Amino acid sequence: DKAHWSSRFFLRYIKFFLISFVCLIAMWMSYQAANGIFLVMILGLALKDFLDNARIKDILKKILIFISPYFFAAFIFKCALPMPKGYRKTEIFAFSEMTSGLYHNIIKLFKTLSSYLNDIWSVLAVLLFICFIASLVIFSKRKRSFILSDAAAGVLFAALAIPLSYGTF
């Protein structure tokens, strides 16, 4: 029975991988700024599992499973798909520039937002963030003694999701 479960899991993973790969390539070919949304979804699922009291080892396995088609599609998009010159920007941050690139995305995002937002919208954004963290703590299935770690997980999610939602290219 365990062999049947393993083969079923493998077939489901292959199906997930292929569908994700095709969708990611289509996304990058049409609207590259959306490429970070896939990573935000992975982070959101990991946060949900964390708050549902899943084991860290299981969460990391799931992240690895979910992120593998992303990196494969990024490699194919960057290296194997011919792009006409000047058609689309296909540069991805080099690994050594990833931290500074994400930092600059955050700065650019907040500058853009601050140019659109007046004081009332800024206050509402802060209130929304506070409500987000509070909802994580309230609806977490973990023991109440883990309130700080639940809140910290929410802050970490937001700190990663905000710049990733702005794109990684």
Judge contact between 88 and 149, C-beta under 8 A.
no
- Give the model's pLDDT for residue 68: 92
pLDDT digits (tens, 9 = 90+) for 126-139: 888 899 888 888 88
Q: How many residues does the chain have?
A: 169
Helices (H), 31-167: 36-51, 56-75, 98-116, 119-139, 147-165
- Give the model's pLDDT for residue 166: 67
With 0-12 CB in 10 A as exposed, 13-18 as middle and 19+ as buried, what is 35?
Answer: buried
- Give the model's pLDDT for residue 59: 92
Neighbours of 102 (CB within 10 A): 19
Give the residue with greater pLDDT, 102 vs 16: 16
- Give the model's pLDDT for residue 53: 87
- Phi, psi for 135 (deg, rounded to 5): -65, -35
The pTM assigned to this predicted structure is: 0.69
Longest dimension (CA), the chain: 60
pLDDT digits (tens, 9 = 90+) for 41-99: 999 999 999 988 889 999 999 899 899 999 898 888 877 766 655 555 555 556 566 67
- Give the model's pLDDT for residue 162: 77
- Give the model's pLDDT for residue 79: 78
Whole-number Cα distances in Å, 5 to 1, 9, 10, 27, 133: 6, 6, 9, 32, 37
- Give the model's pLDDT for residue 5: 56
pLDDT digits (tens, 9 = 90+) for 94-113: 656 667 776 777 777 777 77
In whole angstroms, what is the distance from residue 156 CA to residue 150 CA? Answer: 10
In whole angstroms, what is the distance from residue 40 CA to residue 47 CA? Answer: 10
**Would you say residue 14 has pLDDT above 70?**
yes
- Give the model's pLDDT for residue 109: 72
Give the residue with greater pLDDT, 153 vs 84: 153
In whole angstroms, what is the distance from residue 81 CA to residue 70 CA? Answer: 15
- Give the model's pLDDT for residue 98: 63
When pLDDT is averaged across residues 135-164 and rounded to a whole number, the result is 83
Helices (H), 31-97: 36-51, 56-75
CA-nearest of 140, 162, 137, 168 to 43 is 162
